[in-house]
Structure 1
């Protein structure tokens, strides 16, 4: 039954959903599939081997292969049985473009074995050439009679002869030829642009390469001894004309080892390229000259011969070790005569066949590679497919590359770029890459018994596969199901499949030379594009490729988003026409150039949940140089700030402690669209109440001026405008609580005086209470004091309207005062000061648990309608949990963005797991968590959770009352989606002063004053709000305390002055000040005077130790302008490089710098043998052993990557030394061993 669609849908429901997911990115449709079936009944046992296909220019399909017994070759309802009279015969057949059989021919072999088809080609006129091997006799009925070929030998009779058969487009056998001699196999055949046939293969012994009446005998290397095994196997290239007449033959090989042939190809000028593997010495020049290469390993060779078979050049890989392995299964030549190689490799391989170095290291058991070289064999680029083998490859007319093969058993990734396309293990795949090697689409077939072994492409970019399959296989690459069963469910059965490509694709690239053409040295860009009509969004990959599966017939435009300082070199818009739904359309590329190269800093920080009293709670930080970037963010680092009640325990990257619960994380180099995730583990104070908010802040440095926008941000409408030029001021605000009072402090930390008054707004429980203003000189500050009543107080101040960026300083303090007045979760009602993407502030509400699979928007908004201001950025948090009964392998979140939001401003942020993000369709945001392996909540409650955050801007100036709604759908594997709650915001009118009135009270006292239940014992201006029917009456209390006490605890270097008295020695002192009202103020002084700091240093080998104890330490590099060394803040320091080093020793008041100490013994070349020591195991988990063979007195020290000395000990002359390191964190450490023979440095990996 051909084209059968009979199947039980219930039996294959799981397969259907699996293939639906795995094939989602493939732009393929099934046109037809044929299988060769056996008849039912006695005599029906049959099989077929080695199917090979080729195409003519009219889309007809030709195939050949070996069969035995009986087969039905008609794919339609008719029957066309062939019965093989021997155990093996071969056939040639022709299908029309629709898969209908046109003709069938078969050929008999006199023996039961030893017939093999090795290559097959068809010319533009439909003439087919079959290359194979035979033994004894084979008969061909040609148009001129019967051609019987009989095995002949020149030097021995143990090998197979090569036959060459030509059949015309009507199935007539025109002629048959043979190459007589020892052992000959024609592995590949090619047709040049003159219609000549070029055959490449291998041979042993003496061969007559002239299949006509003349002789052209060539011998493989090594002296014959009438024994096939005494001949090496050499490679030959043979050219015949269209009638099978000899033109030329060339051979090459080695005397002690023979080259292995992998593949070959012709370019448009009929030059021949041969790829293979060799070892020892091989002369690659088939002429009289010598072009020898030598390899002690099994390196690749790439040989180029001209159209006459003369040597042009040869290139070689350099493996460097027998543990490194490389094969080449594919070689194709593109329209620019560049050479594209593909294959697999293991270990570390240098893919630059010239003087340069371009190394790749496999991460899977075996990785695939695609290598592009110039016509001279020079390196252009190389790409890697992780844990994936490449068996077949070919190019289309646009130089797009198609690869096929099988994935490995590890973590296969079919995207050779920085993106990820996770594939099933041990599965067959089809992959399409651009001419730059960037991912376009992939199709995965998870059926284990599906084995395609040949791939062809016609002029309309239809793909053809042939191969074998067993059992029941779905041949449809789409979400549809097309099931066929093999002969008896077990026997391998031959198939042919035609796949058409559909969809629309194009590219966005950085047009360095501004010629509007994607050149080989230019790179793709990840950008957002919009197709009109339809408002259809697509995101190009990191390689710059965008695509959509299909569009309705019509005329369209696609426009790239050029925000971020980009300009199109020709046009940002391309037009295209879609004639039908199933058409494959390539749209012209869009070239962009950066107007002013700049970074796009973007950082997010978040925690899924925080629970009081628990450790190992996780905080996620993601630092990115986002896709709008046009420059590299170099030497990037993140400053992290945390609430004092949150203690950092460990992190996945080294942390520098900066004090006041602040930390620095060095990120390094971030290219555009590149991100780095840092995970921190923390402990939450058990005294925190459920519902309190713990705030954390992340800032990504360095911050370049070009990154900050310069759009003016005017003051509120009801406040006097500021029209002066930017005054270089910069306002910061902070808040403190002492239990009875709340203090807000605004400080101008900029370098300029404020030229305008700036509004200061006060909010209580989210309600606007009052407005003041400040105008501060540089370094000056203003303090506001209020009585602590337990509610949530917030103060914000405006920067100068022309201040760079979107800073809007604000601070919020909750639960200061009586708990009875406190309402939880009000800190996030209004936006934080993180309007610039290089800053992120997150306030996490402490909770015991949370509802799974929900969505929240920040700021939360005021009141039941969640009112926010127009033009305010919104951040969304989507949380998910696997509440099923088994592990989820893939989680997908889809969020269709509200039309009131600017989709071009979307920035995806921190998440609990790695994800692939794209924007597509009509405003659909999609996060795919491949291989997330999310346990179910019954098995692992904590591990079953996840989240993702993103930010988005509103469309400009939305009218008051606009409602912004958003809902997300969460897919766990193949289950129906879980739809979250709908979170909404409403554009509200600006808040007005929520006060019924105000009053001012002046109070003077010697000690303290009590007003309305609040005790004041220090000077200040305090505000109290008294609630009355939802409104507040605001009281300003001016408190002047005339008799007070204060305490000063200070450390100085020389002297301290108090009340006219100078103190130069340490001690406790006091002074009383009298005033007019008879109230005394007493100041108590606890003074410590430090006259000198010991700056001497003790050197022990490469370990430097400051002799001063109890200070702060910062080691510096004397050879680099005394620059501080990151992380070197301990008393002891062990440099990792030779140089001169000093230490800055300081406390809060004093600071001294030591002399520079030279270090010259780091990296001294001492091997373990000279020490007679053996260090094991490495990597190590608990105990590290040093085997001291000569019982020599040694000293050892263990140092981390920051240069901190963790362990140090002098050992007696012991033979075996044990070092317990089980308490150390996993990572890389350095073990230094010093004896009378010098210093040994050894890297140790703790697991």
Structure 2
């Protein structure tokens, strides 16, 4: 049962000293069926972010810019704004392999990029660089708009690599890497390889001024492999370089470092003139790597990498390896003293790849871990890949200045994914790039898909991790004490509401939620209590924000599962219905909602289509049950898992424009725990106060002909409860609507298995008969049936079937009724039920279902479509359920009641090139706030964003709350068809196995020589005629024949017999 919100107590929480909690703000991918990587990322003072790397695919697209490969690997550089929009993208390359390895920005907003090229020549803007050996170094400077200011190269006769670049406060540029050539020239400076044979790399570092002139260049190395891997600068213009050396010793200035065994780490500090101020080494008896170095505002230095040695020592701190490669991070002061050192790792290879610091002295690290789990501080990250140790996940960590872990996050899929570079901006937001080998990878609510989708190639990713000032959590409170213990995990996608402001929060995968800021003041926060969960904390709690830029921890909410229960939900829709057209899709979406506490096992869906629709194909296999009913088996659905499919149909040319076609989807199995909400009290009828009598009512409608050929509207109300055990103990109201107007009120009281009939003259108007279940009947069923066009078109008003709600308030059933249409506005919104009269009146407490349709009417393919809908304040934000759609989307609630659907990589063609493929839609459902007063207006509109264009605004839907919909009108007349008293019908045995007997008492005129006995299934469709005359005049035998086990209805008619109906069970 849904819980009424009551404030039990108030908890006041104020500012604390906890760190800002991060969330993934956005994530983007690029790539194709090849090996494409993002190597480096950097931010500027304006909050923009730059990425460079390589691409091997023939073309690669960033935003709306497509780059074309000239040969093997080509270089790319991309600029994004803070929101993830591509501002520009450039490429360069020749006939061979060319790679961008590092990008950096200066204080003027210019961008520096470095890397290497093996092509004979490579062009940047109007500058062509020519290789003098196997592989040369390049360095390029762009302005903020992507124009090339200058480009330089360096190299010898062999392979030379530039791996890292950094700028100082004056715009000077430092570059490091390794050179294989016997000599290499930087400007007028020639560096000589210490091995002098061209068989090993030596280290170089070079400084350029703002115009690209070489200021100085230095080298270091021995007789083995030695390489500079990363460089960084401080506020004083000093440069720090790190890397590795395999030579027995290596000298920087006057300092000689000695290798402890095989491969050791070094870090060196140079002043602005290139003088070595200090040099340090670290390493053990095996392979140890340093991959990144960064400085902070206090001129402290951070370094990260990995070590394979059993132990490694930094200063007086010795770190111990836990398995394969382990991660290290070290902090030095400006004079080279070790302030602290930390390690992390599991049984397999775990690597620190990049380190960055922010203006507050915090430090961030990213890399990858192949171990099943890895622990940073008190946070344990779990590898999502089952393929240990051959696959890896990405990690990102934040430390404070003292080396304490503030938070740790991970991302990954089923294969190898790696974070290669990161950068923190002035706001403390963090950007990360790298590659993903998995078919899909998820950053928060954004899932990126590998373009090759086989896990055989790499795609590029870039993601933003935003840190917010206000945060909280929702957790699984196993201990039932409203305290989030270390073993109690977060609950994802839980909704909370902050007031004042009507701010909707939704928890991330780890159960946390964040908000950038709030004005100073006092606030309340309320949690959604849907599902089989019991709260362990007050439902509404209070907190105070001292200042907009302060860090505030809001109250946490604990929930504990009350039972194992799935939360099934199904949606069906046919957004475009056009007569005589083929391949018109019916879309079905079935989910076990995220709030579920159990798996929906062996699930299947029964889809019933209008008789005018014919199935042509389906994206999911099905079983045709006859009568236009189809079964789709979808297997097991875990909490949060969905199954989507579509059914391509043709619509008969016999359909009339404006005629309403209905279709339904029923999701099975339905556990009793699913029906957890007491229905609303019917209006204007005395409430039955007895316990539920196990009755269950169902209404069916048909258009029949009498003996003269005149049409009649026939409604049958069935009690499908068990005979005896399901007999009604109270009367239920019956309401007849004609053309949307309540015209007649009656009541029924039926025994289990019995039925009653209402018949009215068919005159073409739209008739609707509805009744109410017992008030304690499980779920929210409101039985009704409608029919139009019975008796011709003379009195027909199209669209009235959708004016009142269908019997689909329970989550396991959905009914969609839509009109046959011709041309239409391609970007529109509709709300169902549409409502009665010109003011679109609808019942109080009636749920609304919305359909948003869109079409790309532009001149090119749309890569991304985003729909934003601000929910009316008179609708309950906690009841929003996203439903069927044309394309895969991600959905979130955020801000001031904003609903957002994002269709990433939708590739929606423009209508000029592919009109049928240019359409799309999404649907959702929301309930009214309880007991809204009459004349409350519920308005809604949506904005549809195609790529980076201004939004296309839909029409505004308007509904008026009016309980007068259930008040009878005296102005509308109906003509009931006279009928005699029903015969008394008994059936025995019931249930039966092979045959049963129908006994009819009260025959008019006695013995009946002719008998018509028809059998119907639960969907009201005739199965067969199986009756034959019995040995006595009032008894008739029903043979089972080919009937399968289940529940059926029968109807008996014939000479001297008024129609008699009932239910029977075949065992």
Q: What TM-score, normalized by structure 1, do the two folds share?
A: 0.55
Query: Would you say 1:433 and 2:465 are equivalent positions?
Result: yes
Residue 965 to residue 317, structure 1, CA distance change in 2 (3 Å): same
3-state SS of 1:910 partner = strand
Q: 5 Å matches for 1:742-1141?
A: 742-749=714-721, 751-991=725-965, 1030-1032=971-973, 1037-1039=978-980, 1081-1083=1009-1011
Q: 1:88-127 CA deviation, whole Å, 9 max, x = no partner? A: 9999xxxxxxxxxxxxxxxxx999999999789999xxxx
Could you tell which deviates more after superposition, 537-546 or 762-771?
537-546
Instruction: Work out the CA distance in 2 between the residues paired with 1:519 and 1:336.
Output: 24
Q: Which of 542, 558, 579 is residue 593 of structure 1 equivalent to?
A: 558
Instruction: Work out the CA distance in 2 between the residues paired with 1:62 and 1:769.
Output: 75
User: 1:892 touches 1:970 (CA, 8 Å); kept in 2?
Assistant: yes
Instruction: Work out the CA distance in 1 between the residues paired with 2:1001 and 2:536.
Output: 73
Residue 352 to residue 687, structure 1, CA distance change in 2 (3 Å): same
**What residue is the counterpart of 1:391 in the other structure?**
420
Instruction: Work out the CA distance in 2 between the residues paired with 1:1073 and 1:839.
Output: 38
Q: 5 Å matches for 1:285-684?
A: 301-302=325-326, 329-330=353-354, 341-342=367-368, 359=385, 369-371=393-395, 382-384=411-413, 390-393=419-422, 402-404=431-433, 415-417=442-444, 419-420=446-447, 431-433=463-465, 504=469, 506-512=471-477, 522-523=489-490, 525-542=492-509, 544=511, 546=513, 553-555=519-521, 557=523, 559-564=525-530, 565=533, 567=535, 569=537, 572-579=541-548, 583=549, 587-588=552-553, 591-597=556-562, 598-629=565-596, 631-684=598-651
1:773 CA displacement: 1.7
Residue 604 to residue 992, structure 1, CA distance change in 2 (3 Å): closer
Q: Which of 216, 220, 237 is residue 265 of structure 2 equivalent to?
A: 237
Instruction: Work out the CA distance in 1 between the residues paired with 2:345 and 2:196.
Output: 31
**What residue is the counterpart of 1:79 in the other structure?**
none
Residue 401 to residue 768, structure 1, CA distance change in 2 (3 Å): same
User: 2:732 touches 2:773 (CA, 8 Å); kept in 1?
Assistant: yes
Q: Which of 691, 695, 705 is residue 739 of structure 1 equivalent to?
A: 705
**What residue is the counterpart of 2:127 in the other structure?**
none
1:684 CA displacement: 3.1
Residue 512 to residue 791, structure 1, CA distance change in 2 (3 Å): same
1:652 CA displacement: 1.6
1:806 CA displacement: 1.4
1:952 CA displacement: 1.8
Instruction: Work out the CA distance in 1 between the residues paired with 2:203 and 2:952.
Output: 64
1:810 CA displacement: 0.9
Instruction: Work out the CA distance in 2 between the residues paired with 1:883 and 1:262.
Output: 53
User: 1:273 touches 1:302 (CA, 8 Å); kept in 2?
Assistant: no
3-state SS of 1:862 partner = coil
Residue 648 to residue 767, structure 1, CA distance change in 2 (3 Å): same
User: 1:525 touches 1:541 (CA, 8 Å); kept in 2?
Assistant: yes
Residue 867 to residue 1112, structure 1, CA distance change in 2 (3 Å): closer
Instruction: Work out the CA distance in 2 between the residues paired with 1:587 and 1:400.
Output: 17
Instruction: Work out the CA distance in 1 between the residues paired with 2:579 and 2:502.
Output: 47
Instruction: Work out the CA distance in 2 between the residues paired with 1:959 and 1:311.
Output: 62
Residue 587 to residue 660, structure 1, CA distance change in 2 (3 Å): farther
Instruction: Work out the CA distance in 1 between the residues paired with 2:444 and 2:961.
Output: 42
Q: What TM-score, normalized by structure 2, do the two folds share?
A: 0.63
User: 1:604 touches 1:840 (CA, 8 Å); kept in 2?
Assistant: yes
User: 1:372 touches 1:381 (CA, 8 Å); kept in 2?
Assistant: yes
Instruction: Work out the CA distance in 2 between the residues paired with 1:893 and 1:310.
Output: 47
3-state SS of 2:879 partner = strand
3-state SS of 2:464 partner = strand
Higher relative contact order (CA 8 A, sep 6+): 2
**What residue is the counterpart of 2:38 in the other structure?**
none
1:877 CA displacement: 2.0
Residue 396 to residue 803, structure 1, CA distance change in 2 (3 Å): farther
User: 2:436 touches 2:459 (CA, 8 Å); kept in 1?
Assistant: yes
3-state SS of 1:811 partner = strand
1:515 CA displacement: 7.3
Instruction: Work out the CA distance in 1 between the residues paired with 2:155 and 2:604.
Output: 76
Q: 1:212-262 CA deviation, whole Å, 9 max, x = no partner? A: 68x876597xxxxxxxxxxxxx52135899997888754555xxxxx6957
Q: 5 Å matches for 1:708-727?
A: 708-711=675-678, 713-717=680-684, 719-727=685-693
3-state SS of 1:724 partner = coil
Instruction: Work out the CA distance in 2 between the residues paired with 1:963 and 1:202.
Output: 70
Instruction: Work out the CA distance in 2 between the residues paired with 1:120 and 1:935.
Output: 41
Instruction: Work out the CA distance in 1 between the residues paired with 2:833 and 2:920.
Output: 21
**What residue is the counterpart of 1:184 in the other structure?**
226
1:633 CA displacement: 4.0
1:370 CA displacement: 0.6
**What residue is the counterpart of 1:263 in the other structure?**
291
1:801 CA displacement: 1.3
**What residue is the counterpart of 1:194 in the other structure?**
none
**What residue is the counterpart of 1:456 in the other structure?**
none
Instruction: Work out the CA distance in 1 between the residues paired with 2:864 and 2:112.
Output: 42
Instruction: Work out the CA distance in 2 between the residues paired with 1:24 and 1:63.
Output: 13
1:976 CA displacement: 4.3
Residue 1053 to residue 968, structure 1, CA distance change in 2 (3 Å): closer
Instruction: Work out the CA distance in 2 between the residues paired with 1:895 and 1:547.
Output: 21
Residue 899 to residue 713, structure 1, CA distance change in 2 (3 Å): closer
1:620 CA displacement: 0.5
Residue 350 to residue 651, structure 1, CA distance change in 2 (3 Å): farther
1:403 CA displacement: 0.7
**What residue is the counterpart of 2:1035 in the other structure?**
none
Residue 848 to residue 184, structure 1, CA distance change in 2 (3 Å): closer
Instruction: Work out the CA distance in 1 between the residues paired with 2:436 and 2:966.
Output: 64
Instruction: Work out the CA distance in 2 between the residues paired with 1:386 and 1:218.
Output: 36
Q: 1:255-289 CA deviation, whole Å, 9 max, x = no partner? A: xxxx695736899xx9997448xxxxx987799xx
Instruction: Work out the CA distance in 2 between the residues paired with 1:252 and 1:309.
Output: 22
Instruction: Work out the CA distance in 2 between the residues paired with 1:524 and 1:871.
Output: 29
User: 1:594 touches 1:630 (CA, 8 Å); kept in 2?
Assistant: no
3-state SS of 2:578 partner = coil
3-state SS of 2:521 partner = strand
Residue 569 to residue 397, structure 1, CA distance change in 2 (3 Å): farther
3-state SS of 1:738 partner = strand
Residue 372 to residue 402, structure 1, CA distance change in 2 (3 Å): closer
Residue 519 to residue 1032, structure 1, CA distance change in 2 (3 Å): same
Residue 860 to residue 264, structure 1, CA distance change in 2 (3 Å): closer
